[in-house]
Amino acid sequence: MTKISPEVEIKMPMEAVPPVSADVSFISNSFPKYKLGADNQVVEEPVQGNQGPSLKDVIDEEASNLYDQHKRISVRDLASKFDKNLAAAAKLSNEAKLREVASLEGHVLLKKLRDALESLRGRFAGINKEDVEKAIAMVEALAVKLTQNEGELIQEKFEVKKLANFLKQASEDAKKLVNQEKSFACAEIESARAVVLRIGEALEEQEKVSQASKPKDVDGLVEEVQEARRIKLLHQPFKVMAMEYELRALRDQIREKSIFSIKLQKELTMTKMSEENKYQLYKLGGSEVLGSYLRVQPCSDEVPQISKCSFQWYRLSSEGSWREVISGANRSIYAPDPSDVGRILQVDVVSNGKKLTLSTNPIQTVSGLGSHVDTLLRKSNTDFNVVISQMNGKDHSSHSTHSFGVGRMRMKLCRGWITKAREIYSPSMQLCGVRGDASNAAKTLFWQARKGLSFVLTFESERDRNAAIMVARKHALDCNVVLAGPDDLV
C-alpha cells in the first residue's frame, strides 16, 4: 500500500509490522482484489475462473425439483429424491458453517491489518501518510462489506435450515406412503394368488370332466399343438418352419381345388344352358368374341317373327350368382363391349307372353388387342377417324369424316378447325358400345360428352372402336373417373 517514487527509496523495518497469527486459515490462496469506486466505496473485482452456483440458485433449483417430484406417481422415487435433497441440504448447511468461520477469520484479519496500518500512519508523513490513511479507509470499507455479507449469510443459513426441515418432514411422509403402498401391494398380490389358485382348481376340474368325452382326433390335435409348443420352447425353429411349409402347401392345394371346383360349376352351368337352348324356339347367332355382334335368330319359320318380340340383354357376374341389366340393350342385336370380356351374356326374349332366356359362353378377347392398347397408352393423345351417325338421339345428315381424339385429360371431336365437343373426364361423361339397333354395331360406340350432348360414332374398324373405349377408360381412371354406359354398375 506504500507509494514509492523513483527518487526516494524507503525501507520499512520488518519488525514494524506485527506478524499475523499462525492459526488464521484462508479459504483461497490469494487475497481478493478490491478497488475504490465513487465516494470511496469498495468494489470487488470479478474473480476469473469457474465458480459454482450461488446458494440462492441451488435453493431455487431444489425447490423446482421438489415441485416436479410432487407430480410423479411413483412414491418410492419420491422418497428417494427426498433423501437426496435432504443430503444436499445438509451439505449446503455445512458449507454455510464453513463460510461463517471464514467470515470470522476475515474480521480478525481486517482488524490486525488495520492495527498494522495505524501503527504505520504515525511513522510516515506527507504523501506516504495519505496513502496509509487511504488504505485504512479501504480496510474499514471492507469490514463494512464483510458485515453485510454476514447478514446475507445468516439469511441464507435460515433458508437452508428451513428447507432442510421441510425436506426431512417430506422424506418421512414419503416413507410412510411407501410403507402404506407396500402393504396395499402385498394385499393385492395375496388376493391375486388366491384368484389364480381358484382358477387353477376350476380348470383342473373342467379338464377331468372333459377328458372322458373328448374324441381321439381332438386328443391328437392337442398333442400336435403341444408338440409344436415344445419345439418352440426347445429353440428348434427349423421344425416349426417345416410345419409352416406343410401348412402353406395344404393351403395352396385347397385353393387350387376350390378354383377347379368353381370352374367345374361354371362348365356345368354352361352345359345346362346349352341343353336348354337345344329345345328352344330361338337361338343366338354370331361369334362370341369381342369385335363381333350377337343376333337373336328364330329356329324355324313357325315361330313368331323377330319384329314381334321384345328383348332385354343382361351381363352375368363372374361367379354367375347375379346378373346386371344392360341399359338400352333392348334390340335383337348386341355388340359386346370390352367390359363384357370374360362374362356370360344373356337375353330374355318375350313372345306371345312367354319369356325365353338365351345364354352365351364367356366372351373372348381378340388376339393382339391388348398389345395395341398398350402402345396407344404410351402416347399423350390418340386420334381416330369416325363418322357421326347420331347427335343427341337424332340421325346426323352429314357423313363426313371427323377426328375423335382420346387424350390423358380430355376427349375431343372435331373436323378440321371446327370443334364439335371438347370435354375433360367427369362423372357425367359416358362411353360404351352402342346398344341400339345400328347397322354396324361392332364398329359403333355411344359417347355422352356432358349432359345434353351425346353422339353415336362409327369407326373404320372394330379394332379401333374397342381400342378407343379401352384407352379412354384407362385415362379416365387415372383421373379418378369411371367411364361406363348408362345405368351401369361401377
Q: Give tens-digit pLDDT for 192-226.
A: 788 778 888 888 888 777 766 655 566 777 777 77
Which triple of cell numbers denotes residue 451? 349432359
Burial state string for 256-279 with b = 16 or more CB within 10 A and e = fewer than 16: eeeeeeeeeebeeebeebeeebee
Q: Residue 446: is its pLDDT beyond 60?
A: yes
Q: Among 19-23, 186-190, 305-309, 400-404, where is mean pLDDT lowest? A: 19-23
What mean pLDDT is predicted for residues 445-457? 92
Instruction: Write down all domains in the chain, each with its CATH number in brackets.
Output: 85-206 (1.20.5.440), 297-363 (2.60.40.2700), 369-479 (2.30.29.140)
pTM of the predicted model as reported, rounded to 2 decimal places: 0.45
* CA-to-CA dists, residue 366 to 342, 408, 463, 467, angstroms: 12, 24, 9, 11
Instruction: Determine contact, residues 389/469, Cβ cutoff 8 Å.
Output: no
Residues composing the chain: 490
* pLDDT bucket at 471, cuts 50 / 70 / 90: very high
Can you give the pLDDT at residue 385? 94
* HSE value, Cβ hemisphere, 13 Å, CA-based, for 261: 6
**Which residue in 386, 399, 489, 405 sits closest to 449, CA to CA?**
405
Better-scored residue on pLDDT, 166 or 71:
166
Point out which residues pair with 471 in neighbouring strands: none
Other beta carbons within 10 angstroms of residue 183's beta carbon come to 10
What mean pLDDT is predicted for residues 229-253? 73
* pLDDT bucket at 372, cuts 50 / 70 / 90: very high
Distance CA 116, CA 276 (A): 138
Better-scored residue on pLDDT, 390 or 128:
390
**Which residue in 272, 291, 388 sits closest to 336, CA to CA?**
291
* CA-to-CA dists, residue 223 to 92, 217, 218, 228, angstroms: 69, 10, 9, 9
Instruction: Determine contact, residues 314/348, Cβ cutoff 8 Å.
Output: yes
